[in-house]
């Protein structure tokens, strides 16, 4: 009778130990997977933003030299751009106090962070590369397009002034 109770207690203790260890291993695996995915997203974002650093330097040097935003940037020619500013947008950028998106890479899918894209922004004579989530990029591009249209309309309504 006592032997049966002792073996039942040992079996119960073993089952509890197996359950605790399985729980511990499962929770640890989930936490480590989350950390790895988070780190992967951070690295992808950093790589894409750094990919635009050379074109940003080239844009800044060209702008400092000629005082205009170039129609073409040699460093961007080999990149897979999803967007580069039109003539009207580049002209608008020179005449506004708001930041203007000049170039954007295609949307990048991330595991944990929100999907987004690396972009080049021009603001008051300075260029910078940064990451922008998709929920911010879409509305900002739409606002920018509307502002450019309004700017162009106002410009076309003004009389032509000859030198």
Question: Which tens digits make up the pLDDT trace of 68-117?
Answer: 888 888 778 788 888 888 899 999 999 999 999 999 999 999 999 999 99
- Rounded Cα distance between 86 and 24, Å, is 56
Between the alpha carbon of residue 49 and those of residues 36, 44, 45, 75, 134, the distances in Å are 20, 9, 6, 14, 15
- Rounded Cα distance between 87 and 59, Å, is 15
**pLDDT tens readout for residues 5-58:** 666 777 778 888 889 999 999 999 999 999 999 999 999 999 999 999 999 998
* 98 secondary structure, DSSP code: S
User: At residue 129, what are phi and psi to the nearest 5 degrees?
Assistant: -105, 135
pLDDT at 1: 56
- Rounded Cα distance between 74 and 158, Å, is 35
Asked if 127 and 103 count as a contact pair (C-beta separation under 8 A), the reply is no
Asked if 83 and 103 count as a contact pair (C-beta separation under 8 A), the reply is yes
């Amino acid at each position: 009778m006592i032997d049966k109770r002792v073996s039942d207690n040992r079996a119960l203790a073993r089952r509890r130990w197996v359950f605790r260890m399985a729980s511990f291993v499962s929770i640890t695996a989930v936490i480590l997977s989350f950390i790895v995915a988070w780190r992967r997203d951070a690295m992808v974002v950093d790589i894409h933003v750094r990919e635009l650093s050379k074109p940003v330097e080239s844009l800044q040097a060209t702008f400092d030299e000629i005082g205009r935003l170039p129609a073409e940037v040699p460093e961007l020619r080999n990149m897979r751009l999803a967007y580069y500013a039109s003539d009207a947008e580049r002209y608008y950028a020179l005449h506004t106090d708001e930041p203007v998106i000049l170039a954007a890479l295609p949307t990048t899918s991330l595991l944990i962070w929100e999907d987004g894209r690396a972009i080049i922004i021009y603001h008051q004579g300075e260029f910078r590369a940064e990451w922008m989530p998709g929920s911010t990029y879409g509305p900002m591009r739409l606002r920018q397009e509307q502002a450019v249209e309004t700017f162009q309309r106002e410009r076309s309504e003004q009389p032509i002034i000859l030198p």
